Amino acid sequence: YQQNPKTYAIVKQLLVEGNAGELQKYFGSRMEFGTAGLRAAMGAGISHMNDLTIIQTTQGFCRYLEKNFSDLKKRGVVIGFDARAHLSSGGSSKRFARLAANTFISQGVPVYLFSDIIPTPFVPYTVTHLKLCAGIMVTASHNPKQDNGYKVYWENGAQIISPHDKGISQAIEENQEPWPQAWDDKLIDSSPLLHDPYAMVNKEYFKDIQKQCFYRNINKETNLKFVHTSVHGVGHKFVQLAFKAFDLSPPFAVPEQKDPDPDFPTVKYPNPEEGKGVLTLSFALAEKDGARIILANDPDADRLAVAEKQESGEWKVFSGNELGALLGWWIFTCWKNNSRDTRAIKDVYMLSSTVSSKILRAIALKEGFHFEETLTGFKWMGNRAKQLMDQGKAVLFAFEEAIGYMCCPAVLDKDGVSAAVITAEMASFLATRNLSLSQQLKAVYDEYGFHITKASYFICHDPKVIQQLFDNLRNFDGKNTYPKSCGRFKVSGIRDLTTGYDSSQPDQKAILPTSKSSQMITFTFANGGVATMRTSGTEPKIKYYSELCAPPGNSDVEQLKKELDELVNALEKHFFQPEKNKLQRKTE
């Protein structure tokens, strides 16, 4: 008896064709459950996201939570979903969310299942707000349309970190046979254990983010116009509500992209990080309506890209680091000028990840608050923020260069909805001083020192080549020696978070946690440059991030840019060796 006729038909067809290669792809290995949960294409077999793998994953997660929380049946879990769907396999985020809810309810666990699509940050918000044991968001964020994902939050409202991923993974292995009635998701509709948090969260979240609204009068009066795109995802309604909560006129929504569409028909990749290609329709609408600023969310609305029309008529798309600098400056300034927070500045913190710009460090040094860097990914920043908050500290802001911003302590993860409306208030305030975002960014750099960044990646589908490339860097001039220079640039320090080596520490041991399963080496150069090379957890990429930090007063930006370009060219040539390693460049 087949439970899902569509995936059953796909597999049956392959058996008829005797297609062993494809069957091996579908059934050869199970999706790996990591700290980011699951992320894979929807389709048949245990290597894909489908009804069965969602049931198995949730059964394992449920057992793991039972082991960790004696009050799981009192507190419960929250489950949200985006608008993704896959016709050929019958999979959709909503269907997966309902199956997951059914699994928990069958074990007597209360489930707060959102009745409609929501932004990802609403799940961690609900975990914290209702003091639940855990949260699940079914989304693949900005991945290609065939993908889906299963993202997990712990009781502290942050994404899980190790060892929970291993524990859950093991529990999934031990609970593979679907429990009775696992497929019958209609059962949940009549269960007293099913709750819908949609109305409550839509009220409370927008009340909570208003604590970050400082210039209501300016917002009411401003004649600055904004364009917003949700790139066929979930963001439209929620950004409109956020603007309303801040007393801003609603942004113009890009009509072709405002409604959820799992086919993402107007973009090649639904990822605002890809820059201008995703924003083509936004530029056109902004020109038509005379808007100067574009706010773009990714499909699950946890990230934000911003573009501004320059005096020249050109559009500038801010990098994640540039917007991080602006928001960091703004949020600190608002705290300093308006805060009723009586905590001393020594109890104020900001965080960013090791591959993001160190601009917050420069601001913190000059202003007297604390800056900390964490490993890459919001799971680290969310968990660290919670630790600090539990010690009575104020964590004002955290960001990473991949356009993720945490502007509001009510959500311990990146949140593109609050970031969009806070950016709009900042722009409205600056307009009263006749300043654009670009001009203010320059002012921030003038005051705290220029921080120029450049990041890119190479695609490599062969794990052996990637391993070889990093082994080569660790044995550059003979065994166990790292490079002493890169072209004409002298290397002054090395931190290898794969092996745990750090040349700048007295005992040569890195302070940040290390992970043998992923590659990450950071080089510091004598000219003040820093470059990190790392592998991606979710894509076949070797990424690099480089930055040149100048002390305040050095304002020759063009010279700094030229120096950074030369450093990056040397990095590519000597450390990546794309020709020798047959690496494919990022296509612009």
Q: Which residues are known to be catalytic? A: 141
Cis check: omega of the bond before 163, within 30 degrees of 0: yes
Tell me the CA distances in angstroms from 366 to 16, 329, 359, 531, 551, one per residue in order.
Answer: 69, 12, 11, 24, 11
* Positive or negative: CA dihedral 169, 170, 174, 179: negative
- Largest separation between any pair of C-alpha atoms in the chain: 73
Contact 60, 168 (CB under 8 A): yes
Give the contacts of 216 (CB within 8 A, at least 6 positions apart): 246, 247
Tokens standing for residue 68: 């960790």
Rg (CA), the chain: 24
Instruction: Give the span between the Cα atoms of 209 and 246, in whole angstroms.
Output: 9
Tokens standing for residue 285: 């609408």
Instruction: Give the span between the Cα atoms of 12 and 117, in whole angstroms.
Output: 33
**HEC profile of 25-69:** HHHCCCCCCECCEEEEEECCCCCCECHHHHHHHHHHHHHHHHHHC
- CB neighbour class for 391 (10 Å; exposed up to 12, middle 13-18, buried from 19): exposed
Contact 36, 3 (CB under 8 A): no
Q: Which residue type occupies 76?
A: G
Alpha carbon distance, N-terminus to C-terminus of the chain: 48
In eight-state DSSP terms, residue 129 is: H
Residue-wise over 79-93: b if at least 16 C-beta within 10 A, else e? bbbbbbbbeebbbbb
- CB neighbour class for 170 (10 Å; exposed up to 12, middle 13-18, buried from 19): middle
Residue 393 sits at φ, ψ, to 5 deg, of -90, 160
In eight-state DSSP terms, residue 3 is: S
Instruction: Give the span between the Cα atoms of 542 and 500, in whole angstroms.
Output: 19
Q: How far is CA 119 from the centre of its chain?
A: 12
| Rounded (10°) CA dihedral 274, 270, 413, 97 | -160
Instruction: Give the span between the Cα atoms of 381 and 383, in whole angstroms.
Output: 6
Cβ neighbours of 166 (radius 10 Å): 12
